[in-house]
Amino acid sequence: MTSLVDATLLITGANGGLGSHFARIALERGARRVYATARSPREATDSRIVPLALDVTSSASVRAAVQAAADTTIVVNNAGIAGGNSLLSTDLDEVRRVFDTNVFGALSVAQAFAPVLARNGGGALIDVHSALSWLARAGAYSASKAALWSITNSLRLELQAQGTQVLGAHLGYADTPMTEGLDVAKADPADIVAAIYDALESGEHEVLADAVSVTVKAAVSQPLPVLYPELAR
């Protein structure tokens, strides 16, 4: 288990949505410092929040972040982009753009910060997935989250020897800018982040952070027409 007390976190995609809640709630739970990263990070009014430029799709940017945040003990891979257009009609360059951020960007951060976490006592890596890791939808987004889920499971095995806790976090729809145009029930992002941090501090490997993720995970073992009623025609 990993405590947030006196921890130093690096959070990707920290400008808004879940990211800002990851920063705020970590400090409320006793974190010492938060590196709030984004391509164009926002200024912070709290001296414990350090804005840090980071483009997860740029190797040079990731390396610079490692140098700037060498005291990191918890990494939160939260950066992600949407991609809901049809896989059959979307240009492959657009599909690659989604995977570059949601999959390879997260892996790049994990690779770069793994030695940092090891030097600082092991710490933790949190990867933000989705209930769509298990439930496919049109477009590249759910495919990218499924890939990240599998990568996280492999990283958990590889990082075990250095004492790094790896937590995969799944959620349905949080009330964030990414879901603004969706007519669905949305969870409070603060509740989502609180559930993720509870799991971290309890030593969990995976957390289903809302009712949607619980429901979808339970249905995964069912025949495909249960998940996809359109197949039952």
Asked whether residue 3 is domain-assigned, the answer is: no
Asked whether residue 2 is domain-assigned, the answer is: no
Buried b (16+ CB within 10 A) or exposed e, 138-157: ebbbbbbbbbbbebbeebbe
Q: What is the pLDDT of residues 61-107, one digit of tens each?
A: 999 999 999 999 999 999 999 887 899 999 999 999 999 999 999 99
Asked whether residue 166 is domain-assigned, the answer is: yes
Domain containing residue 221: CATH number: 3.40.50.720
Residue 223 binned pLDDT confidence (cut-offs 50, 70, 90): confident
Q: What is the pLDDT of residues 190-220, one digit of tens each?
A: 999 999 999 999 999 999 999 999 999 988 8
Q: How many domains does the structure of the chain reveal?
A: 1
> Which among 35, 145, 173, 197 is annotated as catalytic?
145
pLDDT attached to residue 178: 61
> Which among 35, 141, 173, 197 is annotated as catalytic?
141
Asked whether residue 23 is domain-assigned, the answer is: yes
Asked whether residue 1 is domain-assigned, the answer is: no
User: 177 versus 37: which is more confidently predicted?
Assistant: 37
Q: What is the pLDDT of residues 96-150, one digit of tens each?
A: 999 999 999 999 999 999 999 999 999 999 999 999 999 888 899 999 999 999 9
In angstroms, the Cα distances linking 173 to 149, 168, 202, 224 are 17, 16, 24, 22
Q: Is 228 a catalytic residue?
A: no
Beta bridge partners of 126: 76, 167
Q: Is 141 a catalytic residue?
A: yes
Asked whether residue 188 is domain-assigned, the answer is: yes
Query: Which residues form the domain of 59?
Result: 8-232
